[in-house]
Structure 1
Amino acid sequence: MIELYDGPLDVDAIFSSWRRWGEDKNFGAFITFVGTVREENDIEALSFDVYKPILKSWFDNWQEKAQKRGAFLKMAHSIGDVPVHTSSYMAAVFSPKRRVALELIDEFVEDFKANAPIWKYDVINKKRVYAKDRSQKIKGAGILDIGH
């Protein structure tokens, strides 16, 4: 399940909601990752654009991988501006056993950073500046992508 929010995430509310969901499903492991906007390079915030159709497809593929291992994924991400010291990203793995959850959270978060269709901007002096130096090309993106 993907949850998208305008602005920063309410980590406590999302965590509590997800924890209750996992308890109701009788999962033994609930592993979370929370990404927080760091203060660096004079930024006031990060700002995010999300391409929902590709994000859904990317996530659905991961959910299928998780379910083959007896696990379930949840993810929350911000759209728009997220001030320094607040959260823009949460991910969770639910599993009957801890080993699967620990392995899957690492794989999922690393692939998210590399391949999720989310574009990041620095907010400096109230202006959005594309964070090209911290961005990665998404496989299949571009008008004339030839597999490079």
Structure 2
Amino acid sequence: MSEASGQDIIRLIGIRDTPLSVDEVFAAVGDPGAGGIALFVGTVRDSDHAREVSRLSYSAHPSVEGELRAVMEKIAADFPVRAMAAVHRVGDLEIGDLAVVVAVAGPHRAEAFEACRRLIDDLKAQVPIWKHQLFADGGDEWVGAC
């Protein structure tokens, strides 16, 4: 269970159509009680399912920030975390662009790693963000929740 209140723990939530900053997310989770900070950066890769990806686009439901907050509140209730931050990009992205950045600060590295993995996994499974991949062969694919 968290050592700080849920409001203090969730330091940054953002859904943006502008480039993301690893430094911003890292700075948001700085905490004097943290012995470890785990950070995950998701980038646009050049292939998927053995097909060359030319670019992709993310779109989000209007409820996305509230849904992301609910995911983060659940993690804060389940892990002894000190701070959390998550930002996701929407709109058109190119290969190599940052698509998502999440970070968790915990009293020890094990809790920070576990909570960070849960944050990105639950974000992908539960938050209403969809990915539209465009392939070099002219095909495309919509991916449910990303």
TM-score range, shorter chain: 0.7 to 0.9
8 Å CA contact retained: 1:8, 1:82: no
8 Å CA contact retained: 1:32, 1:90: yes
Deviation at 1:17, TM superposition (A): 2.5
Structure with greater proportional strand content: 2
Equivalent residue number for residue 67 of structure 1: 76
The equivalences for 1:117-136 within 5 A come to 117-124=128-135, 129=140, 131-132=141-142, 134-135=143-144
2-structure distance, mates of 1:5, 1:38 = 19
8 Å CA contact retained: 1:66, 1:73: no
Total equivalences in the alignment? 128
Deviation at 1:57, TM superposition (A): 2.7
Deviation at 1:128, TM superposition (A): 9.2
8 Å CA contact retained: 2:80, 2:106: yes
Which of residues 3, 25, 30 is equivalent to 2:14? 3
Structure with greater proportional helix content: 1
Deviation at 1:34, TM superposition (A): 0.7
Q: Structure 1 length as normaliser, TM-score?
A: 0.72
CA separation of 1:44 and 1:107: change in aligned 2, threshold 3 A: same
Gap regions ≥5 residues in structure 2 = 1-11
Equivalent residue number for residue 98 of structure 1: 109
Gap regions ≥5 residues in structure 1 = 139-148
Which of residues 46, 53, 57 is equivalent to 1:43? 53
Indicate the SS of the match to 1:44.
strand
8 Å CA contact retained: 1:47, 1:122: yes
Amino acid at match of 1:20: A
1-structure distance, mates of 2:23, 2:52 = 33
Superposed CA deviations along residues 16-44 of structure 1, whole A, max 9, x for unmatched, are 23333333x31222111111111122322
Amino acid at match of 2:68: F
CA separation of 1:74 and 1:128: change in aligned 2, threshold 3 A: farther
